[in-house]
Amino acid sequence: MALCGIFIGGTAALNTGAFLGMFWGAGIGYGFGSIFAQRHPTRRIIVYWAGTLGLVAPFFGLIIGAGVFLPDYTSLEMAFVALISAGVGALVGLSIGVSQLKGLRRKTQTQGKNAEVGVV
């Protein structure tokens, strides 16, 4: 993901864009890796989902926003679209994280009860 971020940021703003894009892509990769590597339910999964989708959403928000504001969009309009889409992505990630946490907790509780009874 960091490599993709370097290419996306590098085409937009050369060295500075490549540097920021690398951290953006690495943040997304770390978030998804942390989400799907968790075996035990913790509240961190909510933060990982919210942060990861908060980073992913501006990419798609700007693509959709560019279609709305073309051909004469300003930097301020692009920043506004990115900010709104990051907020929406974080809220969606929050709800996905809460539902996944509940599912993981139910799964571990069920496995714990089956282990006590002796059912495999």
Instruction: Supply the pTM of this predicted model.
Output: 0.76
- Domain ranges within the chain, ordered by starting residue: 1-37, 40-114
Residue 49: CB atoms within 10 Å: 26
2/77: higher pLDDT: 77
Report the C-alpha gap between 108 and 119 in whole angstroms. 14
Q: What is the pLDDT of residues 57-107, one digit of tens each?
A: 988 887 777 666 666 777 787 788 888 989 999 999 999 999 988 988 887
Q: Are the beta carbons of 88 and 64 closer than 8 angstroms? A: no
Residue 97: CB atoms within 10 Å: 22
Report the C-alpha gap between 27 and 11 in whole angstroms. 19
Across residues 29-38, what is the average pLDDT?
Answer: 88
Site of tokens 């301020």: 76
Q: Copy the structure tokens of residue 94.
A: 């929050």
